[in-house]
Amino acid sequence: MTEQNYQAPDLNLVGAEHVRRYQETNGEVGYEWNGAHALLLTTIGRRSGEPRTNALIFARDGADYLVVASLGGAPKDPLWYGNLVANPSARIQVRDEHLSVTARTATDEERPRLWKIVSTEWPNYNVYQQRTDRKIPVVVLSTS
């Protein structure tokens, strides 16, 4: 997939506003986002020790939830990913369901299979990967 295949998302619901509306409506607003599905991931800030919540596109692999640390193909990983590396215990909200999860980065061996799953949910991930030299992490969230 090339940059010309990029599908610009509707950005009317992003960032803190996406999180707020998702929480207020138990996902009635924000779960479906630009044809994909979103969850809320709450990590603990590695410096602040404070909870940090982000709305992220997700896919499923059996019982596991998959999220991608893409940051749109930026050269650096998103802050939430650094928080998970420092402390893999987190919480997710999927619609009105709240779950404790343990995060891990997909191994090099499993990443190609998982990448197919997540890029089917959000094809722009393929464009994001072309925008950066870093290998964009696929994160596996397993319920605890």
Under the banding of pLDDT at 50, 70 and 90, the label for residue 48 is very high
- Torsion region of 72: left, alpha or beta (phi above 0 gives left; psi -120 to 50 gives alpha): left
Task: Sort 59 into a burial class: Cβ within 10 Å, 0-12 / 13-18 / 19+.
Answer: buried
pLDDT of 15 reads 86
pLDDT of 81 reads 98
Q: Is the pLDDT of residue 108 over 90?
A: yes
Q: Is the pLDDT of residue 8 over 70?
A: no
Which structural domains are found in the chain, ordered by start?
Answer: 3-143 (2.30.110.10)
pLDDT of 20 reads 96
Q: Is the pLDDT of residue 1 over 60?
A: no
Q: Is the pLDDT of residue 34 over 80?
A: yes
Gap between the Cα atoms of 136 and 72, Å rounded: 10
Dihedral sign, Cα of residue 143, residue 46, residue 80, residue 74: negative
DSSP class of residue 27? Answer: T
Type of residue numbered 29: V
Under the banding of pLDDT at 50, 70 and 90, the label for residue 87 is very high
Averaged over 94-112, what is the pLDDT?
98
Type of residue numbered 2: T
Residue 42's contacts (CB-CB under 8 Å, 6 or more residues apart) are 51, 52, 53, 90, 91, 92, 93
Q: What percent of the chain has pLDDT over 90?
A: 86
Query: Mean pLDDT of all residues in the chain?
Result: 93
